[in-house]
Structures are given as structure tokens and as C-alpha cells.
Amino acid sequence: MKFFIDTANLDQIREAQALGILDGVTTNPSLMAKEGITGEENIINHYKAICDIVDGDVSAEVISTDFEGMVKEGEALAALNPQIVVKLPMIKDGVKACKYFSDKGIKTNVTLVFSPGQALLAAKAGATYVSPFIGRLDDVSTDGLNLIEEIRLIFDNYMFETQILAASVRHTMHIIDCAKLGSDVMTGPLSAIEGLLKHPLTDIGLAKFLADYKKGN
Ligand code: E4P
């Protein structure tokens, strides 16, 4: 399973990259705003900075909600760097724009997916990635992981090449469960990724190894 980090924070992206496990980055307008990145020029420069840090795919979301606007914005974003993946909302014009970009060989990530039907449409439109938001489904008492399972079944039935990018991942168990269910990618915060490192028996075991080494030296 590929690991993407879901942030626009450059320090956290550098930290995940330094760990040697990072396959890409996802951003969205809220994450950009959280880092105080506003205005077209600053946003563009920020995407370039992210691409300089990581080797893999970097999702950059369009703001337009009409086909023409999405095409114009998406083409400008894709021209920044071959790592850029044009992130499009799961609305009618987003599906049309997805088909337009996939026909042109430009990578896409269809975002805000909350049902198997939406994922199926994104795959039919040739999306590179489809982003089911599991945490936000959990927030409204609906099993987000069940959606991953359903999309996996559908994509496998028809051998769709669209990759399932489990998004809105909130904690370590989401990551483990997504891996068990065969999600192609997960995107989550650095805290969830680093949470995978932790086990008290590792700490206790290491402390004992070091203490025993000291005794013998
Ligand atoms: C996906 O690409 C989104 O950026 C993200 O995963 C949303 O997560 P949230 O529900 O924690 O805001």
C-alpha cells in the first residue's frame, strides 16, 4: 500500500520523506488555508515546493466547479510538474473533467467520494485515483471502511486500474484496516503514520537490550 501524507505543511512533508516511506502528498483548499497559503501565486509556489521535497504524486485541487474552469485550472496545475495530480470534486462537471484529463494522459484524483456508485463513475471516467473519505463517514455513524471494501470488490470485478486512495484517514487502525482491505493508497496525517511505530514492548525490549549491553561492557 502506498503512503501519502495529507497535509500542506512543508516540515511534516520533509519529516515523512526523511522516514523513507513516503509515496506522495495530498492537499486540499482547507489544508492550504491552514498553513496560511493564500492567493494564486503563493499556492502555485507551494505546490512547486512540495514537489521539490517528494518524489511521488502530489494532488493539487481545483477550485472551479464548472467543466471549463476545471480544465483551465487543471491544465495550469499539471503544467507545473509531472508529479502533479489534478484533484477534482465528485460532481457532474468533475466527472467530465476527469474523462478529459485521463484522455490527455494527465493524472487525476476524484475527491469527496462517499459511495460505491461515485467511485464507479470516477473509474469509468478513467480516474488515476479515487478518494473515499473514510473518517468523515465514521463521523456520521457510517462505516467508512465498508466503503473501501465495496469499492475494492467492484474494481476487482472489472479490473479497473483506478487506484483506491483511502482519504480522511484519522488514526493508525484506519491505516491497518485499509491495508487489510487492499486499499492501493492511504493518505493520512503524520501523527497516524508515526503512530505505526509505537509499541511498548519495543521500548521495554530495547531498554533491556541496552541495559544488558552495559552490564557486559
Ligand atoms: C483527501 O484528499 C482529503 O484531503 C482529506 O483526506 C480529508 O481529510 P479530513 O476529513 O480529515 O479533512
Q: What is the pLDDT of residues 125-175, one digit of tens each?
A: 999 999 999 999 999 999 999 999 999 999 999 999 999 999 999 999 999
Mutate to test the pocket of ligand 1, among 35, 88, 168 (most ligand atoms within 8 A of CB): 168
Q: What is the ipTM of this complex?
A: 0.96
- Atom of ligand 1 at shortest distance to CA of 139? 10
| Cα 17 to ligand 1 centre (Å) | 19
Contact 187 CB / ligand 1 (< 6 Å): yes
| Cα 16 to ligand 1 centre (Å) | 17
**CATH level 2 (architecture), domain 2-216:** Alpha-Beta Barrel (3.20)
| Catalytic status, residue 87 | yes
216: pLDDT strictly greater than 90: no
Contact 7 CB / ligand 1 (< 6 Å): no
Write the pLDDT tens digit of every residue in 19-62: 999 999 999 999 999 999 999 999 999 999 999 999 999 999 99
Write the pLDDT tens digit of every residue in 107-133: 999 999 999 999 999 999 999 999 999
- Atom of ligand 1 at shortest distance to CA of 188? 6
Res 215: pLDDT: 94
Q: Whose CA is nearest to atom 9 of ligand 1?
A: 168
Q: Whose CA is nearest to atom 7 of ligand 1?
A: 168
Contact predicate 138/157, CB 8 Å: no
Write the pLDDT tens digit of every residue in 64-111: 999 999 999 999 999 999 999 999 999 999 999 999 999 999 999 999
Res 217: pLDDT: 82
List the grid coordinates of 42: 503563493
Res 114: pLDDT: 98
